[in-house]
Amino acid sequence: MKNVVRILLFLSPLSGVVALLVFSASPIAVAAPKLDAYWQVDDVRAGMKGVGRTVMRGTKVESFDAEVLGVLKNTSPGRDMVLCRLSGLGLEKTGVIAGMSGSPITIDGKLLGAVAYAWPYGKEPIAGVTPFSQMHGFVEAYERRDLAGHDKPVRVGLRQPLHVDGKSFESATVSEAYDDPAPREADGLWLTPLRTPLAASGFTPHSLDLLRERCGGAGLVPVQGGAATAKIADEEKDAPLEPGGPLALAMITGDFDLSGIGTVTHIEGDRVYGWGHPFMGLGACEFPLMTGYIHTIYPRQTVSFKMGSPLRTVGVVNADVSTCIAGWLHRKPDMLPVRMTVTLGDKGAVRTFNVETVRQRSLTPALVFTALTNSVDMEGELPEELTAQFDARIELEGRDPVIIKDMYSGFSGGRAPAALYGQVAGVVSLLLNNPYEPLRVTRIDCDTRVSAERRTAEVETMELDSDAYEPGGVVRASVFVRPWKGTPQRLTAKLKLPDDLPEGEYTVTASDEVSAAQLALRDDPNLSSPQNVEQVLRAVHVQTEAKRTRLTLRVPVGSAGVAVGGKSLADLPAGMVQILGSARRTGALPICAALSSSQATDWVVQGSESARFTVVRHKQTIADTDR
């Protein structure tokens, strides 16, 4: 079955849960940890006591106690879980803490696994521990999560009843979903994955709200923590990456920073394992692997979380699997540079921001959108009525850049960032996620100039200079538009008809050029459902070259051929087009043609109006006969 991408119009990729895409990668040879260095699940027994390691503040690794309560077998295919009761470091009060993900537990000097799950409503700190034997094994296979059915909890029976919180439990429910259990389930032994605190530095509250809306289902908790101070960064610049220490996975670095915070489980040579649960289950990936600093613990009724900051990049996280994340020390991540300039007012100072985002097809569009949105939000309270001049340049390796130059107006200041940058994120998503050929975006530059005014004009009516034209004639239209809080203005537009245009009834529509471009995409199957990367790029350029400030006359003129197998068959007889387009076996789709002309205006054009006219030969003769 061929891959098909549908492109009708550019939408923000942030309107739903981020899709997890399939990656292929060649495993890198690595020396496996020695089997006698960690516990096999079948050898673990209830009552065993061990020691865990984590950081509660700063970079100092501290110890806590752990007691094995039992083993849950087959919580998901190929996976088991060890139940442990934790104590010490104030865990009796805070419960298991998000950000402890990956905290190693050892028994008799052998590694058991990583703290990864918690009992949200329990009065005791009961943790689900991911066995290290399964962390290592899944990493080397670049295993990816099968998301189907992950919202369905699994109830697992215990070999012997557990006595916790003064109650007896004969089974436990394990959920892979990050949502807190419903109140009716609060009395059961219910384990959910620990959420991942996202340390956000340089982000506005509005930007973080946008992130929170879209991160809940992925178990990410954006936290406005701020970057580590220069003093802390200097004092901790040599802090080692060690088991129990903070392990940060960066998504955005630079003038804004966005990083997930967890804990190192084990280091074997240059190989680092952590978290004990996935970040997003991406399989092969590439994120900066960073050391971190824990500022404090933020208490919550269900699961508290660590507030931390990344410190320095020490390697690359290259595996994100169902049991953990893993990476390599002494390697440099490949990042996408994004530069943004924002000017507020005609004489406002120009502010420039530079960041780098990870190159991950399922995440990069959302991260670019977040960074661009934040660059405007940094200007503070925007005017209620504003106009933005926006220039974006998306550079591609080995191909012409994608250029977006347009004006946006007619929305309130609070809605400005999403309106401005949704198209950029949509273009990046289409380029990176096309299934035909890898496209590498080398950098993105965006310049935004915001003024406190509304420069829109609504199309109200349209009048044609005639109701009948000959083939080869010129349609002249008077389009009346009403500028915002202004008096109606008359714009004159014209459209040349081809000499061979068939006689008949036609409709001309006056609108902005972007709306007309969306109709052009819809009418050409090779653009709305591209079959190769060249058609994807053509579709992108059709949309990005259109301007909201241009008034367009558009006249549909019927079928111009058919699209078959990604190729256009034009200039076919009308009967052949009908036969091919109606035959299911051919897979042919009709290509609808349209005439159009555009002209610049001083406003962002909104709305549309249509009028009908007739094309007849020897129009004057017919008119004279009628008289």
Residue 620: per-residue pLDDT: 57
Q: What pLDDT, on the 0 to 100 scale, is given for residue 158?
A: 75
Distance from C-alpha of 319 to C-alpha of 286, rounded to nearest angstrom: 8
Burial 552-581 (b: 16+ CB within 10 A, else e): bbbbebebbbbbbeeeebeebeeeebeebb
The residue behind tokens 């709200």 is 209
pLDDT digits over 446-503, tens only? 999 988 889 999 999 999 999 999 999 999 999 999 999 999 999 999 999 999 999 9
Q: How far is CA 234 from the centre of its chain?
A: 34
Side-chain half-sphere exposure of 449, counting CA atoms within 13 A: 9
Tens digit of each residue's pLDDT (9 = 90 or more) over 73-112: 888 777 899 999 999 999 988 889 999 999 999 999 999 9
Smallest Cα–Cα separation from 620: which of 395, 468, 491?
A: 468
Q: Looking at residues 175-184, what average pLDDT do you find?
A: 63
Q: Give the DSSP H or E segment for 164.
A: strand 154-164
Q: How far apart are CA 578 and CA 573, in angstroms?
A: 9
* pLDDT score at 168: 80
Picking from 290, 283, 335, the residue whose alpha carbon sits closest to that of residue 314 is: 290
| 478: β partners | 463, 492
Q: At what angle do helices 416-433 and 205-215 cross, to 10 degrees?
A: 50
Q: What is the largest CA-CA distance in the chain?
A: 109
Crossing angle between the packed helical segments 205-215 and 364-377, to the nearest 10 degrees: 160
Distance separating alpha carbons of residues 83 and 80, to the nearest angstrom: 10
Q: How far apart are CA 599 and CA 494, in angstroms?
A: 9
pLDDT, greater one: 337 or 582: 337
- Does the pLDDT at position 587 exceed 60? no
The radius of gyration computed from the CA coordinates of the chain, to the nearest angstrom, equals: 30
The answer to whether domain 198-335 and domain 336-451 are alike in fold is no
Topology at the third CATH level for domain 198-335: Thrombin, subunit H (2.40.10)
Q: Closest by alpha carbon to 560, among 594, 526, 610, 606?
A: 594
Q: Which residue type, as a one-letter code, is found at position 541?
A: H
- Global confidence as pTM: 0.83
Report the chain's terminal Cα–Cα distance, integer Å.
63
pLDDT attached to residue 567: 63
| Per-range mean pLDDT, top range of 246-260, 337-351, 400-414 | 246-260
Domain regions of the chain by residue span: 35-193, 198-335, 336-451, 456-626
d(CA 496, CA 481): 22
pLDDT at 159: 75
Q: Count the neighbouring beta carbons within 10 Å of the beta carbon of residue 171.
A: 13
336-451 folds as Ubiquitin-like (UB roll) (3.10.20)
Q: Is the confidence at residue 18, as pLDDT, over 70?
A: no
pLDDT at 21 over 90: no
Residues 102 and 47: their CA atoms lie apart, in Å, by 22
Average pLDDT over residues 505-533: 92
pLDDT band of 146, cuts 50, 70, 90? very low
The residue among 604, 598, 519 whose CA lies nearest residue 556 is: 519
Name residue 340's beta-bridge partners: 353, 446
d(Cα 291, Cα 249) in Å, to the nearest integer?
9
What pLDDT score does 11 carry? 39
What pLDDT, in 10s, does the model give residues 278-333? 998 888 899 999 999 999 988 776 678 898 999 999 999 999 998 999 999 999 99
390 Cβ neighbours under 8 A, 6+ residues apart: 404, 405, 406, 407, 408, 420, 446, 447, 448, 449
Neighbours of 302 (CB within 10 A): 16
Which CATH number is 35-193's, of 3.40.50.2300, 3.40.50.150, 3.30.413.10, 2.40.10.10? 2.40.10.10
CB 127 within 8 A of CB 35: no
Q: In degrees to the nearest 10, what's the CA dihedral of 322, 328, 329, 335?
A: -90
Q: What residues contact 614, with CB distance under 8 A and at least 6 apart? A: 467, 468, 469, 503, 504, 505, 506
Q: Would you give the distance in Å from CA 560 to the centre of its chain?
A: 37
| pLDDT at res. 621 | 44
Please give the pLDDT value at position 588. Answer: 64
Residue 284 CA to chain centroid, in angstroms?
A: 17
What tens digit of pLDDT does each residue of 121-134 get?
Answer: 777 899 999 999 99
Contacts of 360 (CB under 8 A, 6+ apart): 282, 285, 286, 287
The answer to whether 103 touches 324, Cβ cutoff 8 Å, is: no
Query: Who has greater pLDDT, 4 or 334?
Result: 334
Q: CB under 8 Å to 34, separation ≥6 — which residues? A: none
